[in-house]
C-alpha cells in the first residue's frame, strides 16, 4: 500500500518533469502536431490539469477557486489541430497545474492514513480505497506526463531533459 507521503512525493516529481519538459517552449510549439495523429502538447497539458482536478476530487478536496475552465481538454474531447479560441497556452496551463498541485499537496498534508484507506465510489458501484483510486489516476497522470518528452522532440527541442 502506498503511503500519503509517498504519493505526495510522486505528484511532486511529476510536476517537476512537466516544468522541465515545457521549459523554453512557445504556445506555437505546444500546437505542433504529431506526424501520424494524436494530440499536441497543448491538449496533453490541459488534459493533465483536468486529470489532476480529478485527483483532487478523489482526495475529497475542492479545486482552486480561480482555476480556468479545463473542459476543452477533457477525456473524449476533439484534438486541438491548431490555434482556436479558448486555448490556455503554456503559461496559463502551467499556472493551472501549479495551483492544482498546491491544492493536492495541501490536502495530502491534512489527510491521515484512515482517510486515505477509506472506501469510496468514483465510477458506478466500484467501491475501492481512496488510495487505490488516487494511485489509479496517478498512473493516468504519469502516462500523459511521459508523452511530453516525445511532444517536445516533435516540436524540435531534442535536448536531453531527464
The CA distance from 110 to 160, in Å, is 37
User: Which residues does the chain have with pLDDT short of 70?
Assistant: none
The CA distance from 102 to 151, in Å, is 25
Domain contains 160? no
Query: Residue 113's domain is classified under what CATH number?
Result: 1.20.120.450
Q: How many domains does the chain have?
A: 1
Domain contains 54? yes
DSSP state of 26: -
pLDDT at position 126, please? 85
The CA distance from 137 to 143, in Å, is 10
Domain housing 38: 4-154
Domain contains 8? yes
Domain contains 162? no
Query: Cα 128 to the chain's mean position, in Å?
Result: 22
Domain contains 81? yes
pLDDT at position 123, please? 78
Domain contains 159? no
| 129-162 residue pLDDT tens | 999 999 999 999 999 999 999 999 999 998 877 7
Domain contains 161? no
What pTM was computed for the model?
Answer: 0.95
Q: Euclidean distance between the first and final Cα of the chain, in Å?
A: 28
Task: Find the helix or strand (DSSP H, E) in which 121 lies.
Answer: strand 119-121
Domain contains 84? yes
Closest among 134, 131, 97 to 114, alpha carbons compared: 131
Amino acid at each position: 500500500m502506498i503511503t500519503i507521503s509517498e504519493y505526495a512525493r510522486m505528484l511532486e516529481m511529476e510536476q517537476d518533469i512537466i516544468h522541465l519538459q515545457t521549459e523554453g517552449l512557445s504556445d506555437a510549439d505546444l500546437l505542433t502536431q504529431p506526424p501520424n495523429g494524436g494530440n499536441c502538447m497543448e491538449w496533453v497539458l490541459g488534459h493533465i490539469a483536468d486529470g489532476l482536478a480529478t485527483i483532487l476530487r478523489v482526495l475529497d478536496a475542492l479545486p482552486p477557486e480561480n482555476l480556468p475552465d479545463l473542459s476543452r481538454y477533457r477525456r473524449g474531447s476533439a484534438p486541438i489541430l491548431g490555434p482556436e479560441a479558448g486555448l490556455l497556452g503554456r503559461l496559463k496551463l502551467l499556472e493551472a497545474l501549479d495551483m492544482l498541485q498546491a491544492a493536492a499537496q495541501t490536502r495530502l498534508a491534512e489527510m491521515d492514513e484512515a482517510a486515505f484507506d477509506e472506501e469510496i465510489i468514483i465510477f458506478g458501484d466500484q467501491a475501492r480505497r481512496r488510495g487505490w483510486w488516487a494511485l489509479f489516476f496517478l498512473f493516468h497522470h504519469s502516462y500523459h506526463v511521459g508523452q511530453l518528452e516525445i511532444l517536445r522532440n516533435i516540436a524540435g527541442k531534442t535536448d536531453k531533459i531527464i
